[in-house]
Chain A
Amino acid sequence: MNFSELFKLSGLLGCFSPDGKCLASCLQHRLVVRDASSLQILQLYTCLDQIQYIEWSSDSLFILCAMYKRGIVQVWSLEQPEWHCKIDEGLAGLVASCWSPDGRHILNTTEFHLRITVWSLCTKSVSYIKYPKACQQGVTFTKDGRYMAVAERRDCKDFISIFVCNNWQLLRHFDTETQDLVGIEWAPNGCVLAAWDTCLEYKVLLYSLDGRLLSSYRAYEWLLGVKSIAWSPSSQFLAIGSFDEKVRILNHVTWKKITELNHPATISNKKTIVYKEVEKSPTVDRERLSFPPTRALASSLFSTQSKYEISQVPVSLQYIKPVADRANPKVGVGMLAFSADNCFLATKNDNIPNAVWIWDVRKLKLSVVLEQLCTIQYFQWDPCQPRLAVCTGSSRVYLWSPAGCIVVQVPGEGDFQIMSLSWHPSGDSMLLLGKDHFCVCYLEREEV
């Protein structure tokens, strides 16, 4: 494993291009585009204000930079550096901005969710989508980029509109039986749309592409409901993580629950492997001690090394009872992700914030638990292999694969705290994002 040096970053804004050739990162109001393998700067663009959001277009030719405070979106071209495009929402304000799947339209959500404007880079036409819903995930595109579903709210009722991305024509418009729709997501096969209700009400609705209600699932009443949802890559399973610390998996044939996955604080099953991160006391070379201590030496002394140990089952994990009188409590399953080959499901129970639970989807059983020293910030599966990268806000990156797991310390100064990470589309390298810096980690083929 090789690590690049640390580069400056702001706002956790860094991502690989979809074709994997370039890496874009932001520093205040500058957008830096580098080559993905050599990290040489290819282009440098300056925007009008501090950038709050960047996104690559699907063909990796354009990057949009959104500045919410000024309400401006600037689009840059990689092929023609002198080409520029600026979209000013003016008084309408800007809350969110994203590309359409064809890479030629930009969807801007104005302030107060007044409307979604569809700006076209090819023609002079502009489209408006009225009454969009102000929710967590109100706009979702199918994987093949053909259809877009938008959550709307009119007259205190929720609706879903399905548009054809080709010509932005409305295909279907139907109402949903939800109290307060919070999110919608297409299945990877593009034929089923999952919609889920606010956390005050546990309800998951499944609609077919043509707007028919296929099924409605409700696990229980009164308790706080759905926290997170994930489709399996084959569209066979829908995993629903809820506030009662359980994940329920529905199957695509009957849309009924096939299993419940529990996240108890004590693991007693002998077949589960529990990897526990333990601190290693750093070894110091007697001869190399000098006074005053050099910076590198000081950082290496104070930075703690750690490694994984296999704990003997039964293991009890650190369980946190949240404060009862706050909204959006840190309870329940907050992160869900299927691996790319559909064999594993990684979950995080916010009551046990230091652990990642890895479930074997074929057996529907808990196979591995990773217990870390700090709270899990983010994890992401490798897009090609069943490999999971985890970061906890320390300067170490953790990798798990069915062959085992390793801890890697990012070399350099000790105050690089990894808050997020992002895999390269080919699975060969990983972008580690910290508060002020980022670095790229290159993995060799045989690693893990």
Chain B
Amino acid sequence: MSITAIPERPGRSPKRKRSEDSPNGGIPQYDGATDGAALQYAYDEEMPSELQSPEEQELDGAPAKKQKVERPTRLNYVPYMTLRGHKRGVAAVKFSPDGRWIASCSADATIKIWDSKTGALAHTLEGHLAGISTIAWSPDSKVLASGSDDKIIRLWDISTGKCTAAPLIGHHNYVYSLAFSPKGNMLVSGSYDEAVFLWDVRTARIMRSLPAHSDPVSGVDFVRDGTLVASCSSDGLIRIWDTSTGQCLKTLVHEDNAPVTSVRFSPNGRFVLAATLDSCVRLWNYVEGRVVKTYQGHKNEKFSISTAFGTYGVEDDKPAEVDGDEEEQKRDWAFAACGSEDGRTVLWDVSSKEILQELKGHDGVVLSVDVGLEDQTIITCGNDKTIKMWKRQPLPVTNGTNGTNGTNGNHEPSATEPTAGTLDEG
């Protein structure tokens, strides 16, 4: 399997190409490597469809119209606010599913709940005896699970700020990653003790122990229907498990075998996004067991940095550029986000692998990224004890200059891709 790890060449706009080729399964002719093209094709066909609304999907089949939509090659998130309060590095930050809250956990053994609109601190949840590495929101946004170095997983009632009575005890070392099942009845946890536990939330008991890895489990995630669990470990393996039987359905290994530090199902559930310590983020088609895309451009060699998916589209305030068709305006594309150890947060277009934007603002490692509801906000947190919130702004109308926006440090593409900028403007 050869996956092109080389960043996309400037000047090529895969989006455009796709929109020419993708209809009805024609094999794209324009890509350099054939299998790479096939992959890309396969991906293009599948990936964004889930991120779109149905009517858009239908539109997908109409190439003539789609051609008119130009994918923005840049994004413009600007710093919105900075939340301070944690005394030590912030390990993870998460939007609640309903978008109201932001939860952040820190090495100072506290969890803070912030109002996502105002940035006001709503609660400080204390109770863990050691630093907290991971949190997970229940789907109803009422319960927050937190996994700490004290080997305990605690569930917090957000309305009261109190810990529920029964903590989930069973891990033999630091709890490192958590994920709620979509129904909220199960919790999957990965720990330094190399085990993946499936918990029954209500009874606080271990339902299943997945003898998963030979190194700390660095990430776990549930697929959107809850039938699959993905786990990854610093032994370099990503495993896909059947939730109901506990069987390992698939093991994904990359040739380099770099430690995998986070794993996340794509919103459509067909792919897995995994960050590895060779400074790559890979998108896997886990059914076929191959890498679909490799995103690079950030630095990730030591820390376990979480990734996030988001979508972007053409802003409403620029309808003229896209022919004024309302439905066309809603055309969305997906991006993937990942922090970097140099304080940036990098956003890639999922299909083209272009870097859409780099969010600069943190000192040191950005440990966690999350994309909020409507994709209008991104939150990042890092070892500098701060949480930063970024808001999407319309792209500046200025012609191809990056200086307009201090935070928009998308030097690479902009420098080499002046055409993209001009394209945006039509």
Our verdict on whether A and B bind, yes or no, reads no
Chain A contacts to B: CB under 8 angstroms: none
